[in-house]
Amino acid sequence: MLLSEEYIEQAFFFESFIESLEDGITTQEFLHSIRGELLTTAQLYKAVDFMLTDVKYTGVLAISMRLLNHYFSPFQTFIISESEREDGHLDFKIALQILAREAKYRSNNPTTQGVFFYQFETLCRNRLGYVRGLDMLIKDDFYNADWKEWLTILRRQIGFVPLADMIFYRSEYYKIYLSRISSRQFNRTKKIDLSKLNLDKVHEISNANNSDNYQSHNSNSNSNKEHLNNSYNNNYYVAANNCNENTPENNDELDLFDLSNDDTDVVVLFGEREGRIAFATRNKEPAYLFAALSRHLGYPSVPRKKNVTEDENIIPLLKRRIEQLENRIQLLEEEQRGGIDLNRYIKSSS
Instruction: Decide if pLDDT at 310 tops 50.
Output: yes
Chain centroid to Cα 283, Å, comes to 14
Pairwise CA distance, residues 189 & 253, whole Å:
10
Pairwise CA distance, residues 12 & 9, whole Å:
5
| pLDDT in the model for residue 318 | 85
| pLDDT in the model for residue 311 | 61
CB neighbour list of residue 286: distance below 8 Å, 6 or more residues apart: 121, 124, 163, 164
**Backbone angles phi and psi of 270, in degrees to 5:** -120, 155
The predicted-structure confidence for 240-290, as pLDDT tens digits, reads as follows 444 444 433 343 333 333 444 455 578 999 999 999 999 999 989 989 999
CA atoms within 13 A of residue 22's CA, in its CB half-sphere:
10
Pairwise CA distance, residues 170 & 175, whole Å:
9
Whole-angstrom Cα Rg for the chain: 35
Pairwise CA distance, residues 293 & 120, whole Å:
13
* Beta pairing partners, 161: 158
Cβ atoms 302, 122 nearer than 8 A: yes
3-state SS of 229-270 is HHHHHHHHHHHHHHHHCCCHHHHCCCCCCCCCHHHHHCCCCE
Pairwise CA distance, residues 89 & 305, whole Å:
11
- The mean pLDDT of 5-13, rounded to a whole number, is 95
What predicted TM-score, i.e. pTM, was given to this entire model? 0.69
| pLDDT in the model for residue 187 | 42
**Could you tell me which of 60, 102, 103, 52 has the C-alpha nearest to residue 81?**
60
81-85, 87-91, 163-167, 193-197: segment of lowest average pLDDT: 193-197
Better-scored residue on pLDDT, 264 or 81 = 81
**Backbone angles phi and psi of 158, in degrees to 5:** -65, 135
Pairwise CA distance, residues 79 & 84, whole Å:
9
Instruction: Decide if pLDDT at 116 tops 50.
Output: yes
Instruction: Decide if pLDDT at 29 tops 60.
Output: yes
DSSP per position, 155-184? HHHBTTB-HHHHHHHTBHHHHHHHHHHHT-
How long is the chain?
350
* Beta pairing partners, 270: 171
* Beta pairing partners, 171: 270
Ranges of beta strands (E only) in the chain are none
CB neighbour list of residue 91: distance below 8 Å, 6 or more residues apart: 83, 305
Cβ atoms 74, 5 nearer than 8 A: no
Look at the alpha carbons of 310, 312, 313, 315 in this order and tell me if their dihedral is positive or negative.
Answer: positive
Chain centroid to Cα 104, Å, comes to 19
| pLDDT in the model for residue 309 | 62
Instruction: Decide if pLDDT at 221 tops 60.
Output: no
Consecutive H or E run containing 118: helix 112-125
Band (pLDDT 50/70/90 cuts) for residue 344 is low
**Could you tell me which of 183, 186, 192 has the C-alpha nearest to residue 243?**
192
